[in-house]
A and B are shown apart, each in its own frame.
Chain A
Amino acid sequence: MRNQRWVEVTVGAFMLLGFAALLFLAFKVSGLAQSSEQDGFEVEACFGDIGGLKPRSRVTLAGVTVGRVAAIDLDFQWFEACVTLQLDKNLANKLTTDTAAAIQTAGLLGDNYISLTPGIDETYLAAGDSLKDTQSALILEQLVNQFISNSSKD
């Protein structure tokens, strides 16, 4: 057995390591508090239905990931879901104001993500702007229901 000092120091470090691991489990694994990265700029987009979109979902442009969903809030005036997008800071003042945002699904059963399509305006998006041209998520069950009710009329 080593001397007492060594024992005390290593047991202290052991306890500290356990505590740090518990903090990691609390904040990173179970997401008790969301920490947001500060590099980038935020724009807002409101959708009629966001389907299964979650905070930290991807935002893509031409299939390349260019940002994350920072927050999702309900707009109490129009009862729409207003999504705050955090975009790569290299895109600031490069996207036009008529950029379209659509909620897509990766594969048939995969995760929802937002895909951006650039527009043709002369003015450019800055931090805090909101996207007007939005397209809600396609809900598979609703499509199937529509298809069934349409085909039963025939």
Chain B
Amino acid sequence: MLDWLARLGRQGLLLTTALGRSSIFLFQSLAGFPKSSEALTLWLRQVYSVGVLSLIIILVSGLFIGMVLALQGYTILVDFGAEQALGQMVALSLTRELAPVVAALLFAGRAGSALTAEIGLMKATEQLSSLEMIGVDPLRRIIAPRLLAGFVALPVLTIIFTFVGVWGGWLVGVDWLGVDEGAFWSNMQSSVSFREDVLNGVIKSLVFAFVVTWIAVFQGYDLVPTSEGISRATTRTVVYSSLAVLGLDFVLTALMFSNL
């Protein structure tokens, strides 16, 4: 009984220290980021590797999710003679929920795991220590550009995801299933509000970007520097960020849309 209690206490202490360490880590790397042209170059390189290189998977999955939404929605709505509300259904579910969440999950799998593995390998091969040795702060040089790149890249990817998804829904609904084009767009425009739906979706994706990048970078920085440690940390990145995204999504939805 006492053993069990002690184990629980140890877990709690570990969790709290990890949280504290990661917060200090986040604060130090963001506070010390220099605003020079060299820092901009580092940041651009990271936006390229987490944003531009994730573009293909975002485009393809956005297109297919939009198409599937339209197809499924049509088969249900047509029973009620309400297939003209298809545009509204596709656009609302994409802007409010699917685009921020799915883009964040894909981002965690595609870019988050890569970030963890890259930083973890730098730590395992003692590149971070040698940077410190020659007087360069690895938090500023390695971590901060990656964090800031992730914060910017995921919201942009989410907006692109929504755009491609709506286009995919249009492709299936209007071009293939023959929903009236004017009704598709007019129902969408009358029900989607830019501030309530589009901007709230972007705010969601900003929160997800913050959480996913933070988890990915911290797991890489904090891992046990062995090959097994790297593989574990990469797995943890994907699992933790997926859980955090899904949990936070519920909280954000409850805050944003419960009174609509």
B 201-218 binary contact with A (CB < 8 Å = 1; else 0): 000000000000000000
Number of interface residues of A (CB under 8 A): 36
**Stretch from B76-84, B224-232, B233-241 that touches the partner:** B76-84
Does B95 contact A7, Cβ atoms closer than 8 Å? Answer: no
Cross-chain contact of A111 among B157, B187, B192, B197 (Cβ < 8 A): B187
Let me know if B163 and A11 touch, CB within 8 A. no
For the complex, is B219 an interface residue (Cβ under 8 Å from A)?
Answer: no
Structural contact, A57 and B182, CB atoms closer than 8 A: yes
In the complex, the answer to whether B160 meets A109 with C-beta atoms within 8 Å is: no
* Complex Cα spacing A1 to B46, Å: 10
For residue B163, which residues in chain A have a CB less than 8 angstroms away from its CB?
Answer: 20-21, 24-25
Query: When chains A and B are docked, how far (Å) is the Cα of A109 from the Cα of B155?
Result: 38
Interface membership of B194, Cβ < 8 A: yes
B175 at the A/B interface (Cβ < 8 Å)?
A: no
> Could you say which of B6-14, B17-25, B49-57, B140-148 contacts chain A?
B49-57
Identify which of residues 1-52 in chain A touch chain B, using a CB-to-CB cut-off of 8 Å.
1, 4, 7-8, 10-11, 13-15, 17-18, 20-22, 24-26, 28-32, 34
B45-A30 in contact (CB<8A): no
Q: Mark B36-59, 1 if CB is under 8 A from A, else 0.
A: 000001001101110110010000
B198 within 8 A of A: yes
| Cβ B47 vs Cβ A14 within 8 A | yes
Question: For residue A111, which residue of chain B has the nearest CB?
Answer: B84
Partner pick for B159 among A11, A21, A28, A55, CB 8 A cutoff = A21
Interchain nearest-CB distance for B236 vs A (Å) = 26
Which of these, A4, A25, A65, A68, contacts B41 with CB under 8 Å? A4
Given A21-B162, A55-B186, A65-B180: A29 touches B81 (CB 8 Å cut-off):
no
Which residue of the partner chain B has the closest CB to A16? Answer: B156
The reply to whether the CB of B259 lies closer than 8 angstroms to some CB of chain A is no
One of A20, A26, A58 near B182 (C-beta < 8 A):
A58
Contacts of A55 in B (CB 8 A): 186
Q: A29-B91, A31-B189, A111-B187 are in contact. List 18 more A-B contacts (CB 8 A).
A: A4-B41, A4-B45, A11-B47, A11-B48, A11-B52, A17-B156, A21-B159, A25-B159, A25-B198, A29-B95, A29-B188, A31-B188, A31-B190, A54-B187, A54-B190, A56-B185, A109-B81, A110-B82
What are 10 A-B contacts defined by CB distance under 8 Å? A11-B48, A14-B55, A17-B156, A25-B159, A29-B198, A56-B183, A56-B189, A57-B186, A58-B183, A106-B81
